[in-house]
Chains A and B, each alone.
Chain A
């Protein structure tokens, strides 16, 4: 039987959800006999293959134009999209900026920070622009499974992947559904 292909990517997020993924320890070895991780931000290959994967995993909220592109690309290239973590599922920490304009946010970050002297907001066509509001992934593309948690525990990520391998869309409850 061919292995199930999985690609992961991250958006507006700390690396915590990916750390939780690695935190599966021996389960990871077990899973790797059934799945193949084609690409992820923590492997050499970063982008999901053009021919597509079975399962796409996104962590983080969608806050700028680059992240929106990454989210859309993942959606196009995967059959089942899993949003992992509070930021991806519920907007999480990035919500904090949603009552400010992008300009306010950049000025605070690059100019007004207490340790900054003569700060400037970097401007380049290569740098993505902030969207007016930060959004959870499901507001940008269709999401099949949301797994909140900050970060979700390794057990709950393992549970979700196992359920998907069994051909079921997981329903979260009890220990697998935590917001902190």
Chain B
């Protein structure tokens, strides 16, 4: 990158070729007010707040600094009387139309438009204050968010993240001038549109035009606690920020600084944990007496489990773990079951294949020219963020997506080809022709991918989508075996939040003599458990997980667990002590 020299506010500053004027200003700590600009998404200059004066022959030219490339020798003023006046006018125009009355807005205090109005000392608005010409309805059809076009300033941030970052291509603009507004698809209500509820738009909205329903009015940024952590709902391992207040969970946001997601989250990581988790929390140790689970003390519950484990033949002991747990806890579980000689131990998701690739880098998706998705869906369920990372690349003309799946998946509308598994050869041919193909697959497609690996050797990258959350952590702990419920009469389950358990496994567990479950929620374990040991949920956990890339990621505690709930490792250690 060639270095360039500019004169900004009569001072010489350096930038790089390819920088915009705003980039150069920010690198040199020159304060230019911005509104539609957002780090990480392409600029478009829609708000006109960041205007600067560029000197040239004749009158100085006024341009938006976020979209004007900086060139060597430019002479720029960023803070003249004229610019301040123009910026003030721009703000007054924005404030005069629609509903920018702060007194009943949930965003008040966290609003970038309000911040600017304060900064420019706006105490009245010169033009008439009117609602939008077309009175626009508040769209509350979406389960997780409310969109109020009257509070929108058309900064296009949501449109840009929806298209360029999350690749979902749902949001757009209809009409022109004062009638312009953000629409979903072709003007459908958000709830009936193709919106996948990734919620990135909520996180970038500078005003109260898009609000998270649950956390509206529950605390401004200065009143809440923010804990950086790792999402524990699939193996992408997105960095998130857990927002809490007085030990109460308010909202989850994507962490802009985190690899691999860079701010993105999907519905499972952003909304579901707080909106959709309605199971009753396990918050007291319980023991089954007269076929009823009854409250007990920790001592009684641990004694009951320890006694059973001590006096059961080790071949009859079974261990079942959830990959919601941290690597440290999984290793501890593996160690204690080894110590006891229990061999019948495995993950709730079933046995984990151990792929030859020990890791990969999701950011390589940006450099690929062909994506082959085998077996995985990526549009719903787990790993949706991987789907976003692929979809947003498909905007480029020479990148293609091929789906190899006997069933329809949500990515098909973005795909060039949809092949049946029997047509795998065609996919292999396509990979051979491509420069930089990436194969994304899951455990269901192991046989197909083995064949591809054989034929393509080093010419393709293979991205394994693990079945669980911390599956690589389980592999590291040696917990890749299969648990056979038929061979176990005394089963110890470390379930954490896991609740999606097959009927078959549950009915088999029911037949076991004794089942102890260490769980965060009662369901579905209250049907089978003889002892319930209440444990933490994602936001109360501390430790590390290994994501699909093979990266070790930190999980941090955002809130304290309820009084009688203990951390996974503490329970295992207490139990080990009792067994001796």
Residues of A within 8 A of B (CB): 83, 86, 89-93, 95-96, 98-99, 133, 135-136, 138-139, 143, 146-148, 150, 171-173, 177-180
Of B102-110, B362-370, B470-478, the segment with at least 4 beta carbons within 8 Å of chain A is: B102-110
Residues of B within 8 A of A98 (CB): 129-131
Residues of B within 8 A of A173 (CB): 118, 121
Whether A171 and B121, one on each chain, are in contact in the complex, defined by CB atoms closer than 8 angstroms, is yes
Contact with A along B342-377 (1 / 0, CB 8 A): 000000000000000000000000000000000000
* Nearest-Cβ distance from residue B357 to partner chain A, whole angstroms: 54
Pick from A83, A136, A180 the residue with the most CB of B within 10 Å: A180
14 CB contacts below 8 A, A to B, read A86-B102, A90-B125, A91-B125, A91-B129, A92-B103, A136-B124, A148-B123, A173-B118, A173-B121, A177-B121, A178-B118, A179-B101, A179-B108, A180-B109
CA gap between A139 and B129 in the complex, in Å: 10
Residues of A within 8 A of B184 (CB): none
Residues of B within 8 A of A (CB): 95, 99, 101-105, 108-109, 114, 117-118, 121, 123-125, 128-133, 135
Q: A92-B103, A179-B108 are in contact. List 12 more A-B contacts (CB 8 A).
A: A90-B124, A90-B125, A95-B130, A95-B131, A98-B129, A135-B128, A138-B124, A146-B123, A146-B124, A150-B101, A179-B117, A180-B105
Which residue of A83, A96, A150, A171 is within 8 Å of B124 (Cβ)? A83
CA gap between A110 and B135 in the complex, in Å: 22
Whether A139 and B128, one on each chain, are in contact in the complex, defined by CB atoms closer than 8 angstroms, is yes
CA gap between A43 and B172 in the complex, in Å: 55
Whether A99 and B101, one on each chain, are in contact in the complex, defined by CB atoms closer than 8 angstroms, is no
CA gap between A90 and B123 in the complex, in Å: 8
Interface SS of chain B:
loop
Whether B103 and A86, one on each chain, are in contact in the complex, defined by CB atoms closer than 8 angstroms, is yes
Whether A95 and B101, one on each chain, are in contact in the complex, defined by CB atoms closer than 8 angstroms, is yes
Whether B123 and A147, one on each chain, are in contact in the complex, defined by CB atoms closer than 8 angstroms, is yes
CA gap between A147 and B129 in the complex, in Å: 16
CA gap between A173 and B129 in the complex, in Å: 22
Whether A150 and B135, one on each chain, are in contact in the complex, defined by CB atoms closer than 8 angstroms, is no
Whether B124 and A148, one on each chain, are in contact in the complex, defined by CB atoms closer than 8 angstroms, is yes
CA gap between A135 and B124 in the complex, in Å: 12
* Nearest-Cβ distance from residue B124 to partner chain A, whole angstroms: 4
Residues of B within 8 A of A133 (CB): 128, 130
* Nearest-Cβ distance from residue B137 to partner chain A, whole angstroms: 12
Residues of B within 8 A of A135 (CB): 128
CA gap between A86 and B99 in the complex, in Å: 13
Residues of A within 8 A of B109 (CB): 180
* Nearest-Cβ distance from residue B447 to partner chain A, whole angstroms: 61
Which residue of B99, B108, B133 is within 8 Å of A180 (Cβ)? B108
**Nearest B residue to A83 by beta-carbon distance?**
B124
Whether A179 and B121, one on each chain, are in contact in the complex, defined by CB atoms closer than 8 angstroms, is no
Whether A99 and B103, one on each chain, are in contact in the complex, defined by CB atoms closer than 8 angstroms, is no
CA gap between A90 and B129 in the complex, in Å: 7
Residues of A within 8 A of B131 (CB): 95-96, 98-99
CA gap between A178 and B108 in the complex, in Å: 10
Residues of B within 8 A of A172 (CB): 121, 123
CA gap between A176 and B331 in the complex, in Å: 57
Which residue of A99, A139, A171, A177 is within 8 Å of B135 (Cβ)? A99
CA gap between A172 and B118 in the complex, in Å: 9
* Nearest-Cβ distance from residue A103 to partner chain B, whole angstroms: 16
